[in-house]
Structures are given as structure tokens and as C-alpha cells.
Chains A and B, each alone.
Chain A
Amino acid sequence: MNGWGWVLWGYGVVAAALALYTWTLLTRTRAARRRLDELR
């Protein structure tokens, strides 16, 4: 793999990890809001 290959691999992995964390954060927020609505 050449230099650009490593660069794309690195940025791609971090972008995927950031997207995954953001998705879990939004999912947890929606779940908490739903639970709060149920309890009220």
C-alpha cells in the first residue's frame, strides 16, 4: 500500500468510528426521550 492508501485507511477508520459514536449518541438520546415520555 502506498502513502495515499495508508492516509485513506486512517481517515476512513476514524470517520467510521466517529459516525458510529454519533449514531449511538443519537440513538441513546431518542431512547431516553421515549422512556421519559412513557414515565410522564
Chain B
Amino acid sequence: MNASGHRMGGASWLDRAALAAVAGALALAFLTPPEATQGNVARLFYLHVPSVSVAYMAFALALVASVGYLVSRRMAFDHLAVAAAEVGVVFTGFTILAGMIWAKPTWGVYWTWSARLTLTAIMLFVYIGYLALRRAIEDPQARARRAAIYGIVSVVQIPVVHFSVVWWRDIHQLGTVANPTGIQMDGILLVAFFAGLVAFTLVAAALVTRRYALAVLEAGVHDAAARGAGALAGDAVEAPRIGARAGEEHG
């Protein structure tokens, strides 16, 4: 068992639940009837929208953990913040990949510099910057403090990304589920969406759990290495016995 409560080599109950949920979500995504206007290609919705929803949740968790660290100074919050932010980056990447592949048959291009797409790309790079910042700071406390501040400030952009399609004219459609006029899906299509959301939430939870365990291990490696370096330095200080040697040589 490790710090997160599951064996490192085996699958935890959360891993199994995530796999089962993914299997169910895939079945629903592929077996539901085609969407009325876009046809089969709209099945990418069940991949694209749950991905970005989970990315938002992961970044919100990184925010909560960052605040938790600044309030309590407990490293467990810092480990949780990096785990959530990294998984958020991964799911933002999924969002962009699935979105680009959906864009090509519907818009005719993989990418266009619309507000929603540009802001999502900026969100990805801001959180890659969060991970890069952490790698640039050696001292764990300084790293945790500065990353927590970065993690809190970064979350400001999430509402801007989400509401960009409402605030500015955009090639990207308005929200289908989180739409100002109500949910724009019905029946089994909505069930397939929620199945995808549950599946990706469980996958993200499993990944955050394992990334948290890795952060705990990395902190242990850092502490053990620091203790080893300290012992070597102590040996170097204690080794010379000048008085005794002088006594031997002159006595």
C-alpha cells in the first residue's frame, strides 16, 4: 500500500470503477442514435465536453488545495494542488484534441483563432507554466508557496474561458448543457453525456490519487537525499582531528 491507500502495482477500487464507467460511457456514446443535424460526428460531444468539465473541476481542486496550503502550510495540500493541476492540464489537452477533430468535419478547419479556442489554449499554457514554475524552485516550502499563489491567480481565467462564447461572437457553439436558456439536449443523448462526465470524473480522480502518491514519494526522495547530503557534510566537518594528530606528531 502507498500513501494514497492502494497498491502501487495493482488496480485500486477507484481504477476499477473508472474502467467500468468508461466502458459504460463508450457503449452509450456509440449506441445512442445520431444527432439530428450533425449525425454521427456529434458523438465527439460525449468526449469533448466531459473533458473540459473535468479540467475545470481539476483546476478548481488545485485552487482549493492552494488556499489550503497557504492557510495551513501542510505539504499534503501542495501535493494535492500539483496532482490536480497536472491532471487538469492532461484533460485540457484531451479537450483541445477532441475539439480539433470535431472542428475539421463541422467547420472545415482543425483550428481557428476564435475567442473560445484561443482562451482555452491560453488556459493550457498558463497551467503548463504552473508546472514549469514548480520545476524551477528547489526548496519545497518556497515552491509550495509560490505555486499556491500562481494556482489561485490562474483560476480567474476559467469563467472567462467558459463564458467567452456568450460574451463574444464565436464560431464555437454556445453551451449545450450549460446554456443560458436551458439544456439543449434531450433523452438518451443527455444520459450519454452524463455517463461520459461520470466516467471522466472517475478517471481524473484515479489519476489525481496516483499523482498525489507520486508527489508524496518525490517529497520523500527529496528529504532522504537532503539527509544523505547532511550526513556527508557532517562527516567532512568532524573528520579532521587536528589536536590528536598534532599530539601524535609532536608527542
Q: Which residues of A contact B102 (CB under 8 A)?
A: 6, 10
Q: Which residues of B contact A40 (CB under 8 A)?
A: 224
Q: Which residues of B contact A11 (CB under 8 A)?
A: 26, 29, 44, 47
Q: Are B97 and A6 in contact (CB under 8 A)?
A: no
Q: Are A14 and B207 in contact (CB under 8 A)?
A: no
In the complex, per-residue mask of B191-216: 1 if CB is within 8 Å of any chain A CB, else 0: 00000000000010001001101100
Minimum distance in angstroms from B164 CB to a CB of chain A: 22
**Partner of A10 from B34, B38, B101, B214 at Cβ < 8 Å:** B101
Minimum distance in angstroms from B95 CB to a CB of chain A: 9
Minimum distance in angstroms from A14 CB to a CB of chain B: 5
Q: Tell me, in angstroms, the Cα distance from A27 to B30 when the chains sit together.
A: 32
Q: Which residues of A contact B48 (CB under 8 A)?
A: 10
Q: Tell me, in angstroms, the Cα distance from A40 to B221 when the chains sit together.
A: 9
Please report which residues of chain A, range 8-27, place their CB below 8 angstroms from some CB of chain B when the two chains form the complex: 9-11, 13-14, 17-18, 21-22, 25-26
Minimum distance in angstroms from B204 CB to a CB of chain A: 10
A10 and B210 contact, Cβ closer than 8 Å, known pairs A21-B90, A29-B8, A39-B225: no
Q: Are A25 and B214 in contact (CB under 8 A)?
A: yes
Q: Tell me, in angstroms, the Cα distance from A25 to B203 when the chains sit together.
A: 13
A33 and B105 contact, Cβ closer than 8 Å, known pairs A3-B40, A4-B40: no
**Which B residues are within 8 Å of any A CB, using their own CB?**
8, 26, 29-30, 34, 38-41, 43-44, 47-48, 51, 90, 93-94, 97-98, 101-102, 104-105, 203, 207, 210-211, 213-214, 217-218, 220-221, 224-225, 228
Q: List 13 A-B contacts (CB under 8 A).
A: A3-B38, A3-B41, A3-B43, A6-B44, A7-B40, A7-B41, A7-B43, A9-B101, A10-B47, A14-B97, A14-B98, A18-B203, A21-B90
**Which A residues are within 8 Å of any B CB, using their own CB?**
1-4, 6-7, 9-11, 13-14, 17-18, 21-22, 25-26, 28-30, 32-33, 35-36, 39-40
